Structure 1
Amino acid sequence: MSEKQIDEISGVETTGHEWDGIKELNTPMPRWWVWTFYATIVWAVGYMIAYPAIPLINSATTGLLGYSSRANVDRDIAAAKADQSQYLDRIAQMPVEEISGHPDLLQFAVAGGSAAFKVNCVQCHGSGAQGSPGYPNLNDDGWLWGGDINAIYDTIAHGVRWEADDDSRFSDMPVYADLLEPGEIRQVAAYVYGLSGTPSDPALAEAGATIYAEQCAACHSDDGTGDVEFGAPNLADAIWLYGGTEDEIAQQVANPQHGVMPGWADRLGDPVIKQLAVFVHSLGGGQ
């Protein structure tokens, strides 16, 4: 039997291992810690038997208790849908303009519309519905196709220039680079900019007034306030979809950009479209 080796400095027995003059002290874990560790092993084995735990090829062991977190989530979702159905059924049967007259439906529609907006609309209009170049800001007063609740509903349901929907809203601005000389485009751009700002050259704007009256007033109106029936934007409110500098206006006149918005009716259904319309209208920019 080998003789115990005691470390001279600490007075603790060593394991007998030595490396480069350093000896390992024999200091085992406290017994309470060891027994706690054993208990966790026993608990883990019991948990593995009682609950789903062991992965199989196409599934996992179900456990003796038959617990399923997925089944619980499915039950919770079913219960939530059952609670919502009383509101969704009323919304489905009610014209969208009447929802605001029912405080409980209005609150539900705004909350549901906000959730649907975050899933389907923020990619283009932004998380705060503030838009970006080419994508309208839904908080302001610039509405190409009208900002009342019914107009918003129609735009969401059928989209803009969405060829898959026969009821989609269509409007196309001519390519004036094929119709006007570059100098004339600069003139009309200066005039349009002057409707809401101060043009860089008043002489250009003055010459552009005649061109505007001949080429643009039919859609944008004589005073530049636009026409929602044609989706013609208001040019006098300093709200610009593709930029509002004279150069950007000239580019839009010469080679206009035409955005496309999907129609959501087939994908989301009428109750969700109504909730979206109510939510967007509640942002404050609607008419």
Structure 2
Amino acid sequence: MRTRLLAALAAVALATPAAAQPAAPPRFFVAPAALAAELRGAQAPVLLDVGRPLATYDSAHIAGARHVQLVDVAIEKDGIAYELPGADTLRALFGGLGVDGTRPVVLYGEPLATARAFVALDWLGQADRVRVLDGGLDAWRAAGLPLTFGAEPARRATLAAPPRADLLVDAAWVDARRGDPAVAIIDARPLLEYTGATPGTGIARPGHIPGSPSLFWRRLLVEGTTALRPETELRRLLEEAGAAPGDTVVAYCRTGMQASWLYLVARALGYETRLYDGSYVDWARNPDRPTRAGRLP
């Protein structure tokens, strides 16, 4: 009897599926527990805390993280706010933070600033070594992982990295590809800015680029958090916005900041991706460029 009971229990155990494990985040993202394990390893990544106020960083950050201000990765250029600085400026910035082109890099902080830093590093050809902490500092805290306070010692390096000529595109490039079935031009702004009902600062002609669907960047996050939605949901959202597998995704918004998060997610899902820096502010101030108001692309 005992032998038969043990055999039966073993059979049930084999037939019962194991408890579901959390799905690993897409490429370019790292879960808190995985990052904590890496930080205990022999080659810990360079950690960059991006876009949070300095006082907030000083009061609580992941040990070893260096502080990056928003103005380090988003400046005013040609009358448009939040543009990427030049390549020389970015090389000096990241090199001064310890990024040397060989060590892995992990970014966390304010979501849009973090995505902007990712775009900057991708432009410098570093994306294969860069990841973003999924869920940010909130997810790190929720996992019960430790924080520290105060300044971190400098670890300077030299970053020799030519910019990628194909990553940033301009209005002429975008205009030439409107209507191309293999290019999905997607607007990452809130719907009211997309329709033109609430244009936003600096918009000369409210609306959007004709032919570009709307996908507000926050829809890519779990509501109320900075954690990514499951990968299947992300792929569905991109496809609903017109990006079929194999397409090139062109992300734009008002100035390029919100589009940086869409750019990051599209890259993580394997799309060939471009960023229209300057975005709709740049597009709409040229009266020769067509615009469209309302919900229809």
TM range (shorter): under 0.3
More helix by share: 1
More strand by share: 2
Larger radius of gyration: 1
TM-score by length of 1: 0.23
